[in-house]
Amino acid sequence: MPQTEAQLRYSFAPLVKRVSPAVVNVYASRVVQQRRSPFMDDPFFRQFFGGGGLDTAPRTRVQQSLGSGVIVDPSGVVVTNYHVIANADEVKVALSDRRELSADIILKDERMDLAVLRLKDGGKEFPSLDFADSDALAVGDLVLALGDPFGVGQTVTSGIVSALARTQVGASDYQFFIQTDAAINPGNSGGALVDMDGHLVGINSAIYSRSGGSIGIGFAIPSNMVRVVVKSAMSGSKVLLPWVGADFQQVTAELAEGLGLDRPRGALVTNVTPAGPAAGAGLAVGDLVVSVDGIDIDDSNALNYRLATKGVGGNATLGIIRSGKEQSLSMALIAAPETPAREETAITADSPFAGMMVVNLSPAVIDEMGYKGRRTDGVLVETIIDGSAAQAVGFRQGDVIVEVNNVAIDSTRRLAGIASGGADTWRVTIERGGKLIRTRLGG
């Protein structure tokens, strides 16, 4: 790497030569089935022709996605974005030396848009990058972005850290991104953002663009968050994040004035779950959380990030403002409990619910699924099979089934039993996005 400021002005080549072998291309493929005739989606044609004379035999089609990844352990552990490998049946990784290896998905977390792979049949140690402390980054620091934009081959772009703690990006449930003007384009997803020491400071994840190309506004997931996911993957467990047990509201300029603040900051408590960690710490509705372990936070996304990077175990000190006075509260960092048990159930009976996978609501399920409604019990739709009856009638992932034919749905077993009972008409109440929707199906 460049040893002096003068050398730095001339070339990044020594640094790129050292870090680029750890940046890989990720190819994900998925086999999907589809009807040959689109007319069979029309009830008129099905009724009068019954499929006779129409080419209805299913055919397979391979969907492919292309992205980048970073080797973060010599044993062949690769981190990439969740959206690169989501629903993939097969994943292959192309190394910088042109070897192509199959990879197993050992962990994927949609909430943080991260996935961890393990290379197979490598036969030797792989070049890897060490994690940097992303909290040590400062606006104006030089960074390099490495990846495979548009599938043209490994590419390196340079820039600076344009901003930190960006929380309105919308690329994952945990909004806390590094913004950079180093060009990031389609295919760069999952690639490396490195500092001038050659350490990984972030995983390139998203861009802001009206055309699909880079306009100098790119976002990377900070390495301190990536480290949490990789640590979980290597220990063979799913990602466990601290459960707060409270809801928060963004502090606007108008609200800040009413609270007597000099500027909008912090996360305003709007609801506290009984018996949750927030309640145990003494947090109350109307409190304003302004710091975690002495680090200022501007909103609830920053609060979630700070707690997530601390992980489960121990305590966090929350700095709050209550009735205009500053206080400190100690909150236990525990994982959300899975009570009741999720009892994951596939609905297969001939009914509008056929093709959905449902689970019982619990704090753990609410946290994992990013459920935003107000219900604390019930049955949540985890997944829906493409082309299934459930998809055809309009059910969506994340719906909570509240009632069917005037029977309250309090467990997955209850729903499975009603679905298998058969009915001509189904009167269904669901909660979606915090709103109740009542509908009648069939009949």
Q: Within a 10 A sphere around the Cβ of 60, how many other Cβ atoms? A: 8
pLDDT at 216: 59
pLDDT at 183: 73
Q: Would you say domain 246-332 falls under CATH 2.30.42.10?
A: yes
Task: Give me the active site residues, please.
Answer: 83, 113, 189
Say what the alpha-carbon torsion angle 388, 392, 398, 399 is, to the nearest 10 degrees. -120
Is it true that the peptide bond before 363 is cis, omega within 30 degrees of 0?
Answer: no
Minimum mean pLDDT range among 3-12, 312-321, 334-343? 3-12
Q: What is the mean pLDDT of residues 34-58?
A: 48
Q: What is the mean pLDDT of residues 277-282?
A: 96
Please, which pLDDT band fits residue 211 given cuts at 50, 70 and 90? very low
Non-local CB neighbours of 314 within 8 Å, separated by 6+ positions: 332, 333
Please, which pLDDT band fits residue 22 given cuts at 50, 70 and 90? very high
Q: How far apart are CA 247 and CA 330, in angstroms?
A: 18
Burial class (CB in 10 A: 0-12, 13-18, 19+), 140: exposed
Asked if residue 144 lies in contact with residue 156, where contact means CB atoms within 8 angstroms, the answer is yes
Q: Is the pLDDT of residue 56 over 60?
A: no
**pLDDT tens column, 433-442:** 888 999 998 7
CATH number of 7-119: 2.40.10.10
Q: What is the mean pLDDT of residues 243-269?
A: 91
Asked if residue 144 lies in contact with residue 158, where contact means CB atoms within 8 angstroms, the answer is yes
**pLDDT tens column, 68-121:** 999 999 999 999 999 889 888 899 999 988 889 999 999 998 888 899 999 997
Q: Is the pLDDT of residue 46 over 50?
A: no
- CATH superfamily of the 345-441 domain: PDZ domain (2.30.42.10)
Q: How far apart are CA 193 and CA 178, in angstroms?
A: 10
Asked if residue 224 lies in contact with residue 134, where contact means CB atoms within 8 angstroms, the answer is yes
pLDDT at 29: 80
**pLDDT tens column, 394-427:** 999 999 999 999 999 999 999 999 999 888 889 9
Q: Is the pTM of this model over 0.95?
A: no
Please, which pLDDT band fits residue 4 given cuts at 50, 70 and 90? low
Architecture of domain 129-234: Beta Barrel (2.40)
Q: Is the pLDDT of residue 47 over 70?
A: no
Domain boundaries, the chain: 7-119, 129-234, 246-332, 345-441
Q: Report the percent of the chain where pLDDT is more than 90.
A: 54
Say what the alpha-carbon torsion angle 105, 106, 111, 112 is, to the nearest 10 degrees. -90
DSSP string computed for 209-274: -SSSS--S-EEEEEHHHHHHHHHHHHTT-PPP-B---EEEEE--HHHHHHTT-SS--SEEEEEE-T
Please, which pLDDT band fits residue 171 given cuts at 50, 70 and 90? very low
Instruction: Specify the pairing of strand 400-404 against strand 407-408.
Output: antiparallel
pLDDT at 147: 86
The answer to whether the 129-234 and 246-332 domains have the same CATH topology is: no
**pLDDT tens column, 173-194:** 556 788 988 877 766 788 999 9
Minimum mean pLDDT range among 40-54, 98-112, 149-163, 274-288? 40-54
pLDDT at 163: 86
Average pLDDT, rounded, for the chain: 84
